[in-house]
Amino acid sequence: MQHTDNRLKVDPHKIVIFGAGRIGRSFIGQLFGCSGYKVVFVDVDTTIVRLLNERKSYRVVIKGDRTEEIIVPNISAIHASDKQQVAETVCSAGIAAVSVGKFALEKVMPVIATGLELRMKQNPYFPLDIILAENMRSAAEFTKEELLKHLPEGYPVDMLVGLIETSIGKMVPIIPNAEIEKDPLVVFAEPYNSLILDGKGFQNTNTRCERSCTKEQYKSLG
């Protein structure tokens, strides 16, 4: 019975994304939001957080041979300062992603660790896979080392956390200031939309990506 009760606390179709910047919104958020996931951004930009919560969506303008506009739905956001709400979201999310830039990566580790500790207590049967949407060498090793600094001694990180390295090849064109003034949430992006990741990094068998493949291209997460 305890197992059944715990299962109800995790939403397999919710992703928490640390970083609502250009890559976070134009790439990771777009992929998951347009694939039916509830997307929860965590960011330090008060205006972006407020507008995402007000509108529940945002625009991605695709700049290719022709211009196309995509509306990304199912959006909400939490300000990074609300550590309790962030930790609770980490606890209940089906999957997570980090897209904050390598120099800010260590800054989000304490609150992720708090969420992981809460998750182990409330949802011990559900590992959390974290997509590391950062172009940096040994991102998984670095993240594990940083998490261990903030997790309690003996936390089974290798069993309860999947750290998935990626290769982010998507280019994000510069957005004219005039466009940002009209709509602070708009992001421009190129048509390329393949998320290249290390499938062997997944721990949660419920995650909707193939675990048996390494460095595969996922053009759809549906």
More confident residue, 174 or 148: 148
pLDDT digits (tens, 9 = 90+) for 2-19: 343 444 489 999 999 999
Cβ contact 72:25 at 8 Å: yes
More confident residue, 56 or 210: 56
212 has pLDDT over 90: no
Q: What is the structure's pLDDT at 207?
A: 57
Cβ contact 31:196 at 8 Å: no
Residue 215: left (phi > 0), alpha (psi -120 to 50), or beta? Answer: left
Q: What is the structure's pLDDT at 215?
A: 33
Q: What is the structure's pLDDT at 17?
A: 98
Q: What's the CA gap between 162 and 200, in Å, rounded?
A: 9
3-state SS, 54-81, equals HHCCEEEEEECCCEEEEEECCEEEEECC
Q: pLDDT band for 169, please (50, 70, 90 cuts).
A: confident
Q: What is the structure's pLDDT at 209?
A: 46
pLDDT digits (tens, 9 = 90+) for 112-166: 999 999 999 998 889 999 999 998 889 999 999 999 999 999 999 999 999 999 9
pLDDT digits (tens, 9 = 90+) for 34-82: 999 999 999 999 999 999 999 999 999 999 888 999 999 999 999 999 9
> CATH homologous superfamily for 2-218?
NAD(P)-binding Rossmann-like Domain (3.40.50.720)
Mean pLDDT for the chain overall: 88
Residue 97: left (phi > 0), alpha (psi -120 to 50), or beta? Answer: beta
- Out of 148-152, 170-174, 206-210, give the one with best mean pLDDT: 148-152
Closest CA relative to residue 189, chosen from 42, 3, 60: 60
Domain ranges of the chain: 2-218
* Mean pLDDT, range 177-193, rounded to an integer: 92
Report CA Rg, the chain: 17
pTM: 0.88
Angle among Cα 83, 87, 91 to the nearest 5 degrees reads 170
Cβ contact 27:188 at 8 Å: no
Backbone angles phi, psi at 211, to 5 degrees: -75, -20
Q: How far is CA 155 from the centre of its chain?
A: 22
Three-state DSSP class for 15?
Answer: strand
Three-state DSSP class for 139?
Answer: helix
Q: What is the structure's pLDDT at 9?
A: 86
Q: What is the structure's pLDDT at 124?
A: 86
Closest CA relative to residue 80, chosen from 114, 47, 111, 113: 111
